[in-house]
Amino acid sequence: MTALLPMMFTVAPNGARLTQKDHPALPITPQELARCAAQCAEAGAGMIHLHVRKPDGTHVLDGEGYRDAIAAIRREVLNRIVIQITTEAVGIYKPLEQMAVVRDVKPEAVSLGLRELLPVDVDEKAFADFWQWMRKEHVWPQIILYDSEDVVRLRDLQKRGVLGGDRLSVLFVLGRYGKQQADPAELLTFLSAVEDLSSWDWSVCAFGARENGCIAASACLGGHGRLGYENNRLLADGTVSRDNAELISQAVKTAELVGRRAMNVREIRQKFMGE
C-alpha cells in the first residue's frame, strides 16, 4: 500500500471583516479562538492563522491582543498547533506598523502580504532588515501572493537576495473577498509563473463555495491548504458548515482520496521551521 504524502492544513477561522452575524460559530474572543483551535487540531489542522479584534469587533494589529489570544490557545491545546499571526493592513496599517507588531509579539509564524509590506517602488532596505530579523528570531514567514505579477516580483526579490536566499513559504490567493469566487483553474496561472518550485513551499486559500475544490487541486499538485471562515463557510455540497472544524474535516477527507494526509504539528515544525 502506497503511503500518503503529508499536506499541511491551516485554519483561517475569522479574518478581519466578518462577524458572528455572518456565522454564529465565527470565533472572535481569545476563548472562542482557543476552542476553535482545539476542534480544528483534532480535525487535522496543523496551524491556525490568527486575527484579533478590538472590543467593538473591528480589525486590529495589537501586540497585547495577540498575546492574549496566543496564551488562551496554548492553554487549550499546548503545542499541538502552530500559531501564525497576520499582518493584514485592511487599509489601516502602514508597512512599518505591520512590521512593528511582529517585532513586538515575536510569534512562531506570521503571514505577510507582499503588496502591503513591500509596495512597488519603495526602498527595500527596511523590508530586507525585517526579513533578517525574523530569521534571527526564528519567526517563520509566509508570503501572500494575489496574482502572477506578485509571483514574478517575489522571484526577482529572491534572486537579488533581498530575502537572504531563504527557502520561501508562500500562499496563493484564489478569488477575492466579496468580489470574485475562486476557481481551481486559477492555481495553474500561479504555478506557471513560479517556473521553479524547488525553493518554494506553497499553499492555497480560496474565496467562496469552491474552496474545497481548490484545496483538492492543491493536494493533487503537491501544495498545502488554508481554509476556514475567513474565506468560506459552505461545505462542498452547498450547505452551511457547522463550524471551522467541519471544513477542515471535509478537506482532510478529500485530500486522502488523492493520496495526501494531514501533516502533524511536529512535521510542520521540522519541515518549515527547522525544529
Q: What pLDDT, on a 0 to 100 scale, did the predictor assign at position 176?
A: 86
- The rounded distance, in Å, linking the Cα atoms of 174 and 58 is 24
Q: What pLDDT, on a 0 to 100 scale, did the predictor assign at position 3?
A: 87
Q: Going from the N-terminus, what domains does the chain have, and what CATH number goes with each?
A: 5-269 (3.20.20.70)
Residue 10 banded pLDDT, cuts 50, 70, 90 = very high
Cα–Cα nearest to 98, from 138, 134, 68 = 134
Q: Dump pLDDT digits (tens) for 39-93.
A: 999 999 999 999 999 999 999 999 999 999 999 999 999 999 999 999 999 999 9
Q: Dump pLDDT digits (tens) for 135-161.
A: 999 999 999 999 999 999 999 999 999
- The rounded distance, in Å, linking the Cα atoms of 73 and 48 is 10
In this predicted structure, the answer to whether residue 254 has a pLDDT above a threshold of 70 is yes
Q: Poorest-confidence range of 16-30, 176-190, 212-226, 248-262?
A: 176-190
Q: What pLDDT, on a 0 to 100 scale, did the predictor assign at position 1?
A: 55
pTM higher than 0.75 for the full model?
yes
**What is each CA distance from 1 to 216, 258, 259, 271, in whole angstroms?**
21, 14, 11, 24
Cell of 166: 531563504
Cα–Cα nearest to 172, from 201, 198, 199, 195 = 201
Q: What is the mean pLDDT of residues 196-210?
A: 93
Q: What pLDDT, on a 0 to 100 scale, did the predictor assign at position 154?
A: 96
- The rounded distance, in Å, linking the Cα atoms of 178 and 175 is 9
Answer with the residue of higher pLDDT: 144 or 164: 144
Q: Is 129 exposed, middle or buried (0-12, 13-18, 19+ CB in 10 A)?
A: exposed
Residue 121 banded pLDDT, cuts 50, 70, 90 = confident
Q: Dump pLDDT digits (tens) for 80-116.
A: 999 999 999 999 999 999 999 999 999 999 999 999 9
In this predicted structure, the answer to whether residue 196 has a pLDDT above a threshold of 90 is no
Q: What pLDDT, on a 0 to 100 scale, did the predictor assign at position 24?
A: 97
Rounded mean pLDDT of the chain? 95
